[in-house]
Amino acid sequence: MGTGDRVFNSGRLDLLPQPLYPEKTGAYTAPMATLPDIRVGCCGFPMARAAYFRRFRLVEVQQTFYQPPRLETLARWRAEAGAGFEFTLKAWQLITHEPASPTYRRLTWPIPEALKERYGSFRPTQEVMEAWRITATCARALQARIVVFQCPASFGPTEEHIAHLIHFFQAARAGHEDLVFAWEPRGPWPEATVAGLCRKLELVHVVDPFQAQPAVPGLRYYRLHGIGGSRYRYGDRDLERLAQWCEGRTYCLFNNVAMADDAARFARLLGNR
């Protein structure tokens, strides 16, 4: 069974209800707590959903990145998961990735050649904002608070990309002040640039902690892709190190081939402390 929304305290699981934003004062500040609130799950469903809902209390939905499911489907997942289960989700790729990405093959409809330059890279276009509207609607259906914007390595720190990023998140925030935007940049982004953008735009900096640490304090969102590749299995020492990197409220989402086993082992390690 996963950690869900519990904090590990003297060998037992205690509920610790806390808002993600205690008060609207700008950048997120971590809640005052003596022990971290660690939430463990997987990026996607590595097993049948019913079995997953029994075993874990957190999942990052991947389908919303490739081709958002019908709202009726997401509402059914929300009902099946039961109270206390938390969903996060990845934003639709039409926002972050350009049509040349191989992930676009998962779309159920082709993008016309004449319109391809209007998609991806947070472009200030009607098409990108419509993709955000659909992503936000999916978040509401799942009752998810955190939306993850994973960028390809090709989205580097150019002046144009930074301008698009700022315009997008400022526009996307309107009407969605209760959502938490989590940004996973890839490629050669200077830490100071990432930190400045996260503070300016109230973004959570998503990292794989075995590769880098967050550029800003506050809520931590770790996506664990596997050391050296997705086939890597995390050893006991790896999981001990991961636990040491968890501060305040921390989300640990495993994204390797052995994600279900590794996530369950990590949850057991935390529960035995």
pLDDT in tens, 22-73: 333 444 444 444 578 999 999 999 999 999 999 999 999 999 999 999 999 9
- The confidence score (pLDDT) of residue 26 equals 45
Instruction: Give the 3-state secondary structure percentages of the chain, helix then strand then coil, rounded to 5.
Output: 35, 20, 45
- The confidence score (pLDDT) of residue 28 equals 45
Q: Where is pLDDT greater, at 34 or 209?
A: 209
Q: Is 188 exposed, middle or buried (0-12, 13-18, 19+ CB in 10 A)?
A: exposed
Length of the chain: 273
Give the torsion through C-alpha atoms of 146, 43, 251, 156, to 10 deg. Answer: -70
Give residue 252's Cα distance to chain centre: 9
- The confidence score (pLDDT) of residue 1 equals 43
Q: What is the pLDDT of residues 74-104, one digit of tens each?
A: 999 999 999 999 999 999 999 999 999 999 9
Nearest to 209 by CA among 193, 225, 195, 198: 225
- The confidence score (pLDDT) of residue 273 equals 63
DSSP 8-class letter at 191? H
Contacts of 147 (CB under 8 A, 6+ apart): 88, 89, 90, 91, 135, 136, 139, 179, 180, 181, 182
Using N-to-C axis directions, what is the helix angle for 159-173 and 191-201, rounded to 10°?
A: 20
- The confidence score (pLDDT) of residue 80 equals 98
- The confidence score (pLDDT) of residue 36 equals 85
Indicate the average pLDDT of the chain.
90
Decide if 150 contacts 90 (C-beta within 8 A): yes
Decide if 38 contacts 7 (C-beta within 8 A): yes
HSE-CB for 24 with a 13 A CA cutoff: 4
Q: What is the pLDDT of residues 113-171, one digit of tens each?
A: 999 999 999 999 999 999 999 999 999 999 999 999 999 999 999 999 999 999 999 99
CA–CA separation, 97 and 78 (whole Å): 27
